[in-house]
Amino acid sequence: MGAGDTELSSRVTPSPQRDHVLTVLAAGLLAATLAAICHETVGHGLGCIAAGGEIQLLTSIWFRCHGATSLTDAGGAISGLVFGGLVLALPMRRVGNSAMRMTLFMFSAISLLWVAAQIIAHPALDRDDWHFIAMRWHWPLVWRPLLATVGVLSYVAIVRWIALLLRDPAAPSARAIYLAYVAAAISAVLAGWMWAPLPTRSALEGLLTLGVAPMGLLVAAARINPDHSGGAPIAKSWLFVAISLLVFAAFALIQGRGLGPLADCSGSRSAPTEWCVL
């Protein structure tokens, strides 16, 4: 092929398509919302009901159950592992819609890393799910380093799994992952802020849970070959953007504002007011 042919070829070769930014942001927004529903509403909620308890408080990031058991405490982790693992194991090529493919990938990665980060943090912080389980079962002090070690190993394994999946030509680009991640973190802060009794603390908890805990996803994305732009760019879909915004708005205005007798920190006959001091 001559020089002239090469020049002509470079002119007619189409440039790679770019991801539609608003659709990518909507995917991150929806993914974070689904992850919160999976962990708090489905996981802890069903765990509370299955234990014969009564849901006292349900927000975007807080959950309290009167009559809770270890099943209630572990419910969020179980739900995140089951649904996150199943979705992440789904071959990307089988999801034809690029926006949904991005959403499912982000949802599963966030859900799994959320669980692993909890296993690392709770032994040191003396709070939340795994601390409650340890106290209920009177685990010896060695549970702290052992569980934290399991958490670290799990976190590393999940990050490696994600990095391996990102080699797939159908995987999203690093740029798309970064944008969706930012949207997910911001949505968690906004949803947390909706709970009037403790807006600042809830917003901070949302940031830590969905903005800091899944940072392994950014590590995995950074390992993507710079030439990898994703096998199928995230196509523009105003319908998807609208649906994502509606789902998030409903979530923030209903669950984000708090459900249950302790939603306004007023207490109830079956649960003391101090349960609201988180």
Cα separation, 135 vs 137, whole angstroms: 6
Give the chain's count of helices (H) and strands (E).
11, 2
Contacting residues for 172 by C-beta, under 8 A, at least 6 apart: 19, 101, 102, 105, 166, 180, 230, 234
**Token reading at 224:** 């993507």
What residues of the chain score a pLDDT lower than 70?
1-17, 225-231, 266-278
CB 49 within 8 A of CB 12: no
In a domain, 5, yes or no: no
Using alpha carbons, list the distances in angstroms from residue 122 to 13, 134, 165, 214, 215. 53, 10, 29, 15, 17
Cα separation, 79 vs 81, whole angstroms: 6
pLDDT of the residue at 18: 86
Instruction: List beta partners, residue 268.
Output: 271
In a domain, 276, yes or no: no
For 66, the enclosing helix (H) or strand (E) is strand 63-66
Using alpha carbons, list the distances in angstroms from residue 262 to 64, 203, 268, 271. 9, 18, 7, 8
pLDDT of the residue at 17: 66
Cα separation, 163 vs 182, whole angstroms: 19
In a domain, 8, yes or no: no
In a domain, 6, yes or no: no
**DSSP 3-state of 114:** helix
Contacting residues for 49 by C-beta, under 8 A, at least 6 apart: 55
In a domain, 3, yes or no: no
In a domain, 4, yes or no: no
Please write the tens of the pLDDT for every residue from 171-183.
999 999 999 999 9
pLDDT of the residue at 102: 96
pLDDT of the residue at 277: 45
In a domain, 133, yes or no: yes
In a domain, 250, yes or no: yes
For the entire predicted model, the pTM comes to 0.89
Structural domain boundaries enclosing 180: 19-267
| Helix, strand, coil percent values for the chain (each to nearest 5) | 70, 5, 30
Q: What's the number of domains the chain is made of?
A: 1
